[in-house]
Amino acid sequence: MKLIKKHPILSGAILIVIIIILSLMILGGNGTKQETMTIRRSDFVSQISISGKVVATKNAELGLDQSGRISGIYAKVGDIVKTGTVIATIENNTFRADISQKQATLEKEYAKLVSLQKGTRSERLSIYRQEYADTSVALVIAMRNAYLQTESAFLSKVDLIYQNGNTVNPTIDVNPQSDTEKRQVEQDRLLVTEKLKLWRLSLNELSSTASSSQIKSTRLIGNETMELAKNLIDRLIIITGNLSVNNSGTSQSDIDADRSAINSAGQQVSTATASEQNAYAAWNSAYNTLILEESGSTSEDIAAQVAQVRSAEADLVSAQAQLKKTMIVAPFDGIITKIDLKVGEISSPSASQISLMSMGVFEVESYIPEINIARVKINDPAVITLDAYGANVSFKASVLTIDPAETMKDGVSTYKTRLRFTDNDPRIKSGMTANIVVITEKKSSVIIIPQSIITTENDKKFVRVKKGNIINSVEITTGSSTGLGQVEITSGLNEGDMVVLPPLSETI
């Protein structure tokens, strides 16, 4: 400063020299000397810089599907829970009882299906056969008793108003209302006699080990006989009921005796018939059961039982689903970040009452503008720094997902992208601000030049190459480019070539 003050002319000269030098540097294109760059192979790296936020791999807001009184809370904020862990419940004893009932029904139906599929065991068949034999003996005894009671009712009671009742020429002693009726009751008495004989013969041939067809044949004869006997007795009850001292020529005491005998005969036959029918019902049930068990289950029976089992299974699943609505269950492994419940309070359905965040490797959520999204691919590597730890602490990551649809951010189309950290680092926490560099492309030993030295003519690309003192335009083919103005050359240039840089004024 002192020198300038002492020598103002010298200082002015120095200033002029500086101005000339700067002018030559800025306007060097007008000189004869050309600035050049020697081509060397190097690594090509294309990357974009974005920002985002650390998020958990999974987040869930949990709540109950129905209202009820909170009966239990089994975790607290900060607890780590496994998938399926019950975190809270409302009162559900009724639902549990319903499940127990449905489970028992399913087990019963399934056991029945297994039994049908296996068929009847030999020991059970023996039981069914013995039941059939026992009821056969009881039925034969009942039919013989019915025969004896019917025969006795006619010989000892009905025939009190007949002459030669048990012969081929029975004659009624009392006066019916008409001759036609008289002939009818006499003919029916003869038919009863004949039926009783036929019934007795059939019974004599019937043993306790008779076949079912023999039993049914004998019983048919017996039923016809008892039906005929009851119908005849019903007519005789009417006839004796119409008797009087005047129209019968007999005393009132004889009339009363006849009426009593006929009524008693009717009761005797009815009692015998009822006993025989009860014995037949038991025999028929044992017979049908034995036939069914001996023949085994049909495919239709098994199919029907399969349907019963499936119906019981569906009922059980439905009951279990109703029980699940009374619980808040962890859908994945994670850590509880919020619990907004208290035991004893009434909970409302669909409200978010518990928050759950997944554990393990975190992710970063970012929104990439459409101008850069075409360069980003799934699995592209990335380097992330977190504001919490500064630019000198970096974490490796990779692109996990890219949404196919845009998301508008401040009027710009962006695409939601998630990146996953490579390592599970305890320093990473949900909600941290992330600065991301995504490496979209990386190549080794390629030729790279600045975009600014390439010229275009008729859709062809050229650079100026200097060989000695001669400068020629050389056609080139380009490959990938970076966001910083660097371009890969795939043909037209070789390592060692000298390309002419444009004057500084051309790049401004």
pLDDT of residue 268: 94
Task: Kindly report the pTM of this predicted structure.
Answer: 0.48
Cα atoms in the Cβ-side hemisphere of radius 13 Å centred on 408: 2
Angstrom distance (rounded) from CA 454 to CA 22: 26
Token pair in block for residue 146:
């019915």
Burial of 373 (0-12, 13-18, 19+ CB in 10 A): middle
What CATH architecture does domain 65-90+326-357 belong to?
A: Beta Barrel (2.40)
What's the CATH number of domain 360-507, 2.60.40.1120, 1.10.630.10, 1.10.10.200, 2.40.30.170? 2.40.30.170
pLDDT of residue 403: 95
pLDDT of residue 33: 61
Token pair in block for residue 289:
């059961």
Domain spanning 122-296 has what CATH number? 1.20.120
Shared fold status for 65-90+326-357 and 122-296: no
User: Token match 């975009």: residue?
Assistant: 451
Tens digits of pLDDT across the chain (508 residues): 444 444 443 343 344 334 334 443 444 444 446 788 888 888 888 888 999 999 998 888 898 888 889 998 999 998 989 998 999 998 888 889 999 999 999 999 888 888 776 655 667 778 888 898 899 999 999 999 999 999 999 999 999 989 998 999 999 988 887 889 889 999 999 999 999 999 999 999 888 788 888 999 999 999 999 999 999 999 999 988 888 888 767 788 888 898 999 999 999 999 999 999 999 999 999 988 887 777 666 677 778 888 999 999 999 999 988 888 888 899 888 899 899 888 988 888 867 889 898 887 899 999 999 999 998 999 999 999 999 999 999 999 999 999 999 999 999 999 999 999 999 898 999 999 999 999 988 888 889 888 888 999 888 999 999 888 888 888 889 888 876 788 889 888 888 888 888 876 554 4
pLDDT of residue 296: 62
User: How many beta carbons lie within 10 A of that of residue 454, not counting itself?
Assistant: 17
Q: Give buried/exposed letters for 315-345 (b at 16+ CB in 10 A, else e).
A: bbeebeebbeebbbebeebbbbeebebeeee
Domain layout of the chain by residue ranges: 65-90+326-357, 99-119+300-323, 122-296, 360-507
Angstrom distance (rounded) from CA 288 to CA 126: 15
pLDDT of residue 295: 63
Task: Return the closest-CA partner of residue 35 out of 452, 459, 462, 425.
Answer: 452
Q: Are strands 433-450 and 455-457 parallel, antiparallel or unpaired?
A: unpaired
Task: Specify the DSSP element, H or E, that contains 383.
Answer: strand 381-386
Q: Give buried/exposed letters for 244-281 (b at 16+ CB in 10 A, else e).
A: eeeebebeeebbeebbebbbebbebbbebbebbeebbe
pLDDT of residue 38: 87
